[in-house]
Amino acid sequence: MNKVFPNARTALEGLLRNNMLIAAGGFGLCGVPDRLIDAVRDSGVTGLTIASNNAGLDGEGLGKLLRSRQVRKMISSYVGDNKEFERQYLAGEIEVEFSPQGTLAERMRAGGAGIPGFYTPTGVGTLIAEGKATREFNGRCYLLERAIVADIALVKAWKADTSGNLMFRKTARNFNVPAATCGKICVVEVEEIVEVGALDPDHIHLPGIYVHHLVLGAPYDKKIEFRTTRLREA
**Footprint on this chain of other proteins (rule: CB under 8 A):** 27-31, 53, 77-81, 85-86, 89-90, 96, 98-103, 105-106, 109, 120-128, 168-178, 205, 222-233
CA distance 23 to 44: 18
Residue 231 buriedness (CB in 10 A; 0-12 / 13-18 / 19+): exposed
Nearer to other proteins, 90 or 144 (CB): 90
Choose between 20 and 124: whose C-beta lies nearer to other proteins. Answer: 124
- The sheet carrying 21-24 orders its strands as 4-5, 213-216, 183-190, 150-156, 21-24, 48-51, 71-76, 95-98
| 190 half-sphere exposure, CB direction, 13 A CA radius | 28
Q: Which is nearer to other proteins, 72 or 223 (CB)?
A: 223
Contact 145, 118 (CB under 8 A): yes
If the CB atoms of residues 16 and 128 are measured against other proteins, the closer one turns out to be 128
CB nearer other proteins, residue 113 or residue 185: 113
Least separation in angstroms between residue 224's CB and other proteins is 4
* Least gap, CB of 121 to other proteins (angstroms): 4
Closer residue to other proteins in complex, CB, 6/139: 139
Q: How far is the CB of 205 from other proteins (least distance, A)?
A: 8
Min. distance of Cβ 44 from other proteins in angstroms? 27
Question: With respect to other proteins, which residue has the nearer C-beta, 1 or 127?
Answer: 127
Q: How far is CA 215 from CA 23, 33, 34, 124, 221, in A?
A: 17, 11, 12, 41, 17
CA 115, 117, 123: angle at the middle one, nearest 5?
A: 140
For residue 118, CA distances in Å to 69, 103, 106, 132, 181 come to 33, 10, 9, 12, 17
In whole angstroms, how far apart are CA 103 and each of 37, 119, 124, 129, 224?
24, 10, 12, 12, 25
Whole-number minimum distance, CB 143 to other proteins, in Å? 9
DSSP SS3 for 146: strand
CB of 54 to other proteins, least distance (A): 9
| Nearest distance, CB of residue 232 and other proteins, angstroms | 4
